[in-house]
Amino acid sequence: MSSSASNLHAKVWSIELILDARNKSLNVQKRKWHSAFVAIYCSRAFLKPPVPKDININTKLLSRSPSYTTISVDDSVSVPDANGFRIDQTRLTELVKAKDLNQLQELGGVQGVGEALETDVEHGIHGEDAEDILKRIEAFGSNTYKRPPKKGFLHFVWEAFKDLTILILLGCAALSLGFGIKEHGLKEGWIDGGSICLAIILVISVSAISNYRQSIQFDKLSKVSNNLQIEAVRKGRRQQISIFDIVVGDVICLKIGDQVPADGLLLDGHSLSVDESSMTGESDHVEISITQNPFLFSGTKIADGYGRMLVTSVGMNTNWGEMMSKISQDTSEKTPLQARLDKLTSSIGKVGLAVAFLVLSVMLVRYFTGNTVDENGSKMFNGSKTKVDDIINAIIGIVAAAVTIVVVAIPEGLPLAVTLTLAYSMKRMMADNAMVRKLSACETMGSATTICTDKTGTLTMNQMKVTKFWLGKESVEEEAYSSISPYVLDFIQEGVSLNTTGSVYRPSLDSKIEISGSPTEKAILSWAVHDTKMDMEKVVKSCSILHVEAFNSQKKRSGVLIKRKADNTVQVHFKGAAEMILAMCTSYYDASGIVKDMDYNEKMNFEQIIQGMAASSLRCIAFAHKEVPAEEQVEGDQKVVLKEDGLTLLGLVGLKDPCRPGVKKAVEDCQYAGVNIKMITGDNVFTAKAIATECGILRTGQDMFGAVIEGVEFRNYTPEQRMEKVEAICVMARSSPFDKLLMVQCLKQKGHVVAVTGDGTNDAPALKEADIGLSMGIQGTEVAKESSDIVIMDDNFASVATVLMWGRCVYNNIQKFIQFQLTVNVAALVINFVAAVSAGQVPLTAVQLLWVNLIMDTLGALALATEKPTKELMEKPPVGRTAPLITNIMWRNLLPQALYQITVLLILQFRGKAIFGVTDKVKDTLIFNTFVLCQVFNEFNARKLEKKNVFKGIHTSKLFMGIIAATIILQVVMVEFLKKFADTERLNWGQWGICIGIAVISWPIGWVFKSIPVPEKSFISYLKMMKHKSNI
């Protein structure tokens, strides 16, 4: 017995040793299985009788015992892994990236992967369970990407420091600081150089803060634009979730135009093809099927069909995630207006450099010829008697003055003003339901002359409801549905349930039915469920789908081939635009369920029914079917083509989609602003006319000849005919995306600036071709959004009109600032040049000129570039594509102001000392103070380019008033409290009154000169015309 016990102990120990080989790496559950195995083995060993010693066992000949079987177990599938699931991320990633069908089969197909991920492939994950979501994120990561590090504030400070004029000024300041301390000691010697340094630091700080804030604004907009809404199935319910909330195991619904939000496997789908050009660069679409190629990649686009996918990898575990993490958001995009302003800045800068060089030359000549005197009237240069340090200090002062003139002359505020106004308008447009994707669209929209708009969802509310149902030639009221032949009703319910991309969900018998899908699909499903008492789940289970022809915007219909399980008959069902389906029918069901032939006269009767519904602004949808004979049925791998003739009409439904409230007013506002509105729709011509009249695009009693056409008619015109007739067209019905593209091209050739709205994938070419592409945020596909410049978040035409107004506001604000900036530039340059040439000194010091530069460049830009749009902007015609930036009106406004400032300041420069009986220091302070206050008062004039009343609406411009108040307070501080820094003297109340009195005269000057009419054509265009005539 002891021998048996020792043998048993040895055997158990051996088994323990073998099993312990992997024991250290086992988790709790595996260790439990390990203990259970040892217990079972031991109990069997105790019960088994001992082997007699005299039996010789040849272990080499010992055959396998029939009492057990070796089972090969794959740990990654059968036993939960360390992440809590039966498959790890590495294997999932490799599976999809390698498109490994063999490995997929080993895992039990897509169904097996779903089980390993604890996903019910029909009902999705338990989305309401936060623990389940968190568990998946911990195991497989979140659907977010690592972004390149953002540019910090110091980056923008460094960028501002790299400006050449700033570097020269810093060099001058350093030299001035060094020589000043050497000559006057630290207590007094730092003031001149230190003042310039402080002024430079202030200018750089304001510039860096503005650019940094703009960068933050772009990042925020980028996050909003990337936050796509995806349709997922969770706990059996279809729901919209953020793309960032998708987790591995989610079941995602995909349709044409969608972006694939993560890597995954196709669960089910029909006619699905994917555009993988964003990943591979290949333009050919890739067919996706459950058997041959079920692999879907993040970032690709659904080109056709629809389906459901199982998510296997998210975020940084996808190729798309790796690519996105290396791409930084480019915020340095140059808009056309910015490019034009760069040229203007360059031209003004060249003039400034020329003036500065002249000032430098004159002042150096005057200094070295002994014509420059100091405060006491003594010559500053006396040949060899003058100290080297004094000569260097004088030269530094002259160079600093010349460089500062360049700083004032170069309108650095122009790019800043454009950046500020674009960033401000983008932020405000976001609040007005318009998300700008491309900066250039902000300004281009102000020049739009034509807007081509969709009907459904843009002019109408996209809240459809079935209000009419025709069976045969009779209109069936809701209470009479029970009298419809059950045989016909079954066909209608099959056509609705199986030929749809929508879904019906009911958690329990007591709960409310939830219907999802496009507005059209939801309306039809709602009608079938509530009015015809359709049980969608029952209908779907009673048939199997053999083939689907997804909705096509050119054919304007969708079809499905099904097999009834009850009788094995094969049926084809079509649904689509009423007149398109009618053309495919040769018979129809009457109200009693009898099939009747449809001859020419009967077809005309149906066309009249359709036209009658369309004239009542109803969208007409028809249902038709046909039983496919056994000999025509396709078997095996043969390509399925749905029969498109010999159909039997099942019925017609009319969907009411009311116009949006306020859309008529928005259309009228655009028309009043000189912008043509054209409606391009896929609906029939009668529905289009009714809606266009209701919206104000067509006027009651208007001659419809040439104003309303169908897409096919426009398409068949010759290029010459299209160019001749395109401007007269107001409504184009039954149009295809190609027709829309054709119209945009024609309008652009005619010189129009065209804005186009679109929501479908096929609208992408027209959106790209247009000057401004406007996609719809709710109904728009991701392909349409990516092709557009602005996304209209609420799909409302009134928001399009708001975008138009903001576009004009951007352009108008830039013009206001240019007028203000040029007034300062002209005045500062002339004053400094005349004073330098005649007196050998500039009245405004480097620090004072830098302060003026700060007021006009930064604070002025902030005040004028953030003005809100007014109704006055919509009273003027659109600004032409090539219209000059500086108009005759602007020249009329700025030249009198500049001349007034030059005259007054030169009088103060040469006669101020005698007129007011003051010292040179007080006189220079009077010039500086008057100059700054003139700019402050002129800012009010710049608010309105044409209107005399510059104070209208000023109470609403809190930012403007705040900046004006801040400027005045800072100016008082500069003059009264920073004497050494600003090189000024304190002024008494009388002297302040003189400065304000001189400055305030700019208001009546502006009022008087705005009364003078000016020609619309610019002076330069007249010169060009004269030159052209002389050449002839």
Give me the helices (H) in 248-374, please.
Answer: 277-280, 319-326, 336-368
Residue with token string 């093809």: 273
Q: Phi/psi class of residue 37: alpha, beta or left (left: φ > 0; alpha: ψ in -120 to 50)?
A: alpha
Would you give the end-to-end CA distance of the chain in angstroms? 130
CA distance 481 to 489: 9
User: DSSP assignment, residue 117?
Assistant: T
**For the residues of 675-727, what is the DSSP string, one character each?**
-EEEEE-SS-HHHHHHHHHHHTSS-TT---TTTEEEHHHHHHS-HHHHHHHGG
Q: Nearest to residue 147, comparing CAs of 375, 334, 315, 384?
A: 315
Structure token pair of residue 568: 């094995």
The answer to whether residues 529 and 492 touch, using CB atoms and an 8 Å cutoff, is no
Residue 861: helix, strand or coil by DSSP?
Answer: helix
The answer to whether residues 119 and 310 touch, using CB atoms and an 8 Å cutoff, is yes
- Could you give the angle at the alpha carbon of 841 between the alpha carbons of 835 and 843, nearest 5°? 70
CA distance 250 to 237: 12
> How much is the CA Rg of the chain, to the nearest whole Å?
40
545, amino acid identity: I
Residue 365: helix, strand or coil by DSSP?
Answer: helix
Alpha carbons within 13 A on the beta-carbon side of 853 = 29
Residue 758: helix, strand or coil by DSSP?
Answer: strand
CA distance 242 to 230: 6
Residue 919: Cβ within 10 Å count: 11
Does 454 participate in catalysis according to the annotation? yes
Residue 809: Cβ within 10 Å count: 24
The answer to whether residues 746 and 724 touch, using CB atoms and an 8 Å cutoff, is no
The answer to whether residues 457 and 779 touch, using CB atoms and an 8 Å cutoff, is yes
CA distance 747 to 754: 7
Residue with token string 């002994």: 370
Please list, residue by residue across 253-277, b when 16 or more beta carbons sit within 10 angstroms of its beta carbon and e when fewer do.
bbbbbbbbbbbbbbbebbbbbbbbe
- Within 295-432, strands assigned E span 295-296, 301-313
Strand pairing class (434-436; 790-792): antiparallel
The active-site residue, picked from 192, 304, 454, 763, is 454
Structure token pair of residue 778: 């709710």
CA distance 394 to 389: 9
Cβ burial, residue 942 (10 Å; 0-12/13-18/19+): buried
Contact residues for 214 (Cβ-Cβ < 8 A; gap 6+): 331, 419, 420, 423
User: DSSP assignment, residue 436?
Assistant: E
Alpha carbons within 13 A on the beta-carbon side of 763 = 30
Q: Find the helix packing angle between 130-140 and 89-97, rounded to 10°.
A: 70
Q: Find the helix packing angle between 797-839 and 388-409, rounded to 10°.
A: 150
Residues identified as active-site: 454
